[in-house]
Amino acid sequence: MFEFVNTLLIGITAGSIYSLMAIAIVLVWRSTRVVNFAAGGIALASTFVGSTILEITGSFWIALPVAMLAGAALSAFIEYFFLRPLLKRSGDKNQEIFLPIIATLGILGIMKAVLHFIYGEKIGVLSPPLSDKGFIVSGESIALSPLRLLILGIVLLLMIALTLIFQRTNLGLSLRAASFAPEISRLSGIRVDLVRTVGWAISGAAGATAGILQTVNGSGAVTPEAFEFSLLLVFGFVAAVIGGIESLVGAVVGGLTLGIILAIILMYLGSSLVFFAAFLILILVLLLRPNGIIGVKGGRRA
Amino acid sequence: MLRVKNLTVDHGAIRALHGVSISIEKGQLAAVIGANGAGKTTLLRTLSGLNKATEGSATWGDLNVLHSKPESLVRHGISHVSEGKSVIPELTVSENLDLGALWRRNRKESAQSKKEVVELFPRLGERLTQRADSLSGGERQMLAIGRSMMSKPQLLLLDEPSLGLAPLVVEQIFQSIRDLSNSLGLTVVLVEQNAMGALKIADIGIVLNLGSIAATGSAAALRDDPAVRAAYLGF
Amino acid sequence: MGAVHSRHITNKHRFIGFVLIGLVVYILSNIVDEWRAYQGATVAVFVVAIASVILLTGYSGQISLGHGALLAVGAYTAALTQIYFSAPIWICFVAAVLSTALFGAILGAAAARLSGPYLAGTTLALAVGLPSIANQFSILGGEQGITFDAGWPPLSLGETFTQYKWFLWIATLTALISLWWIQNILRSRYGRSWRAVKSNEVAAELVGIHLGRSKVLAFTVSAGIAGLAGALLAMTVNNVSPSAFPLALSFSIATGAVLSGVSTLGGVMIGSLALVAIPLIATSISDRWSGSENLATVLPDFIVSALLILTVFIAPKGPIEKHRSRHSK
């Protein structure tokens, strides 16, 4: 029984981090119809920033917000200088998605190369700010630790913040309108291009948080070739697609679903089937609902 | 004073407008009629910044209308309600309205505008918290016009507001447009397939055919013109 | 009449071109050392792999970020056929093509309703998910993998005929034959139907093209070719293991396809050469400049990524289309 509860806890924690990454991807998809692989690079770079700030100030609570800002700035930079000019040229309807994907892959490659060059073999340490020793319940240590609570707390907080921003603020209204109907939004006076950049910035902040939490939840150290980040990107993307890439709620659902199921598989079937399981989950969901669990038929009109 | 001189607009290899020249005085309601593909929609889209002109000029007062982004033209008082009930179905009625006033920073004034829109279209007032996709066709058109009124325009560009609506609703909407123009001194460019309805409420009329102007004049004169009647009014 | 006439000329030209390439490789194979022969074989592998992506994505409009997994299927099939049936190398290749094609058919059927990001996500998950299965089943050799013993060059070629030169010959011949076959199918009514579906599904259906069948066929053919590339890879590298098929491989192939110009087959050499040559050039550059090992590891990826971005910006349809359009205006 304990084992199962522990597995669930582990899965929910990992899943919530995937959800953050999925949110980052969904945000960019909805605002610019681009699958943003560079989100992985942004998360990586921001995590390095975070670890540097941690080194300087010794405080995780300063490092995290600064990393989020770095992620936001970097993401906005990429949107403004790379994606905007690229999307202006896109004509061919089907290449409309393939070429931007490849472009973001290229940006990811450059970011990784640059980070590797700057940091070399150095490891960015990001030790968790809270203990990762599980609480004792009925004499047994369960998988819930202060650290885990913190991670879940941060993710929950971010999701509440995002929901409030989107549903209750003018900015949020602009973001939603611009992603549903950019032309109508322009005709209503919304600076759609600026709004899109803001959408990317928020995505960058979410990705940065995901990167930091993933590191803190895992090895506590970040390197340019860190496998954790490839994992984060792939699972984040898969989670977004499972949930339905048009929906932020879907990103959360997809992330949690993926996290929990994978944790169960990891526990009971071993580690080498985990990736294949992710693939199976994805294809099963898509067979039943080709637009993801929260299957919203996306597609931009005017 | 909307002055369009020699406006030429291309869609790729196709020339949609050939050297069109129009003059509309402030406060006038101009009906632009013509067959499908005559270039009426292109005209509006060029005036609101969605399409690029190849040649020619267009000014609203002393503002050069071409070469501007739509979102900045809105801030200068030009509002375009595009074809096809341009509301955002996923947003609520209230949100759709708010959208029109977002660029205006003044909350009090925006709230006031919303009140006025609801007075003009009480049906919207009843459905403020409902999603826009639950509205009927006529209500959506009212919402679209209401949203554009939220930006306090001086020049209103309307693209086929009667499309797909029942005759009674069409009358209502046309009447509202006329009332708005009268009470607020709005300049209106009304593009319509429903030529009769449009000419009935308009001050002046412009007939477009295959991208060029076929006829202009007072609405009354055009209503009586036999050629126009034959071609567009069906009798 | 004139247009048909010129198309015939072009086809003959192509054939001569292929023969010429074959001759060039033959001549080179006699001068270069084993290391270069190995690289040449690798180029051939990429040529076939990239061609399969061009067919699927460029012609049929279906994104794949997971062709590495398909190469893995082909590679493992070839190796297993050789181990358990002691089959000659050509039979192993055929087995690889057939098994991967079958896999592709199933995958294509499952993916036929998907498009855009959903298809991208599925193929991405496949790229990460499929190779790792080998770790689970001992018959597949686990982490260390299994060996593919392609055998020695036949004695008739002489005693000094080296192994990698033999591989180079096989790989080049296979690649040339595959390209010829692919080129023909792309020009056939199947290729035309793929193009039609890609540009406008509704219109294609109206003309009587069965969307599902067309898409599945594209997946099947593309997979078969990818399987062949995998078999060639197994031959060249001797060993097939999950670590030979990381996500990076799928990305490389997609990258190579874009560098070549994903909508036409003509530039397929460009991408392949780029992928193999750039790491070499980068290593020698960084050796000369700073000898920094860090730079050496980093530079190839940097250059490839930069080229990729440049290509997407400047010549989205690939360098060949760009050249053509510049000269036709």
Mean pLDDT by runs of 10 across the 235 residues of chain B is: 90 87 92 86 91 90 88 92 87 93 87 91 90 90 93 93 90 91 92 89 91 88 84 70
Q: Closest Cα to residue A209, out of A259, A258, A153, A165? A: A153
Q: Closest Cα to residue C258, out of C324, C182, C318? A: C318
Residue among A102, A275, A287 whose CB faces C128 most closely? A275
Apex CA C207: angle with CA C201 and CA C210, to 5°? 60
Residue among A173, A192, A302 whose CB faces B86 most closely? A302
What is the count of residue pairs from A and B with beta carbons less than 8 Å apart? 70
A280 touches chain C (CB under 8 A): yes
Whole-angstrom distance, CA of residue C220 vs CA of residue A164 = 47
Asked if pLDDT for residue C296 goes beyond 80, the answer is no
- Sorting pLDDT into bands at 50, 70 and 90, what band is C6? very low
* Contact status, residue A255 vs residue A35, Cβ threshold 8 Å: no
- Shortest Cα–Cα distance, C3 to chain A (Å): 26
* Contact status, residue C301 vs residue A103, Cβ threshold 8 Å: no
In this prediction, residues C215-240 reach a mean pLDDT of 92
Chain A CB contacts of C114 below 8 Å: 286, 290
Model's pTM, two decimal places?
0.87
Helix, strand counts (H, E) of chain C? 13, 2
- Regarding predicted confidence, which is higher, C86 or B99? B99
Show the tokens assigned to A13.
């924690």
Query: In Å, what is the CA distance from C63 to each residue of A184, A246, C247, C256?
Result: 30, 19, 15, 14
Say how many C-beta atoms besides its own lie within 10 A of residue C75's C-beta: 30
3-state secondary structure of B9: strand
Chain B CB contacts of A176 below 8 Å: 90-91
In this prediction, residues C95-106 reach a mean pLDDT of 94
Say how many C-beta atoms besides its own lie within 10 A of residue A88's C-beta: 7
Whole-angstrom distance, CA of residue B192 vs CA of residue B30 = 10
Q: What is the ipTM of this complex?
A: 0.90
Residue type, A266: L
Predicted pLDDT of residue C5: 45
- Asked if the Cβ–Cβ distance from B102 to A176 is below 8 Å, we say no
Q: What is the share, in percent, of chain C residues with pLDDT greater than 70? A: 91
Chain B CB contacts of A192 below 8 Å: 71
Show the tokens assigned to B113.
């505008």
Whole-angstrom distance, CA of residue B202 vs CA of residue B220 = 8
Over the range A125-157, which residues count as b (16 or more CB within 10 Å of their CB) and which as e? ebebeeebebeeeeeeeebbbebbebbbebbee
Show the tokens assigned to A117.
């060059």
Q: How confident is the prediction for chain C on average, in pLDDT?
A: 84
The DSSP symbol for B55 reads E
- Asked if the Cβ–Cβ distance from A186 to B71 is below 8 Å, we say yes
- Dihedral sign computed on CA atoms, order B109, B115, B117, B120: negative
Chain C CB contacts of A287 below 8 Å: 110
* Site of tokens 């939840």: A217
Euclidean distance between the first and the last CA atom of chain B, given in angstroms as a whole number: 33
Of the listed ranges B62-71, C22-31, C88-97, C223-232, the least confidently predicted one is C22-31
Judging by DSSP bridges, how do beta strands B55-60 and B63-64 pair with one another? antiparallel
pLDDT digits (tens, 9 = 90+) for C34-75: 888 888 889 999 999 999 999 998 888 888 899 999 999 999
Show the tokens assigned to B197.
């309805």
Predicted pLDDT of residue A202: 96
Angle between helices B167-184 and B107-120 (to 10 degrees): 140
Mean pLDDT by runs of 10 across the 302 residues of chain A is: 83 94 93 90 93 88 94 95 80 63 90 86 78 71 81 92 91 92 92 93 96 88 81 92 89 94 88 87 90 70 42
Nearest CA in chain C to A271: C136
- Asked if the Cβ–Cβ distance from C254 to A105 is below 8 Å, we say yes
Show the tokens assigned to C21.
């390439």
Predicted pLDDT of residue A294: 84
Predicted pLDDT of residue A22: 95
Q: How far is CA C227 from the centre of its chain?
A: 9
- Sorting pLDDT into bands at 50, 70 and 90, what band is C321? low
Show the tokens assigned to A64.
């995290």
Contacts of residue C70, Cβ cutoff 8 Å, sequence gap at least 6? C52, C100, C103, C104, C222, C223, C226, C227, C230
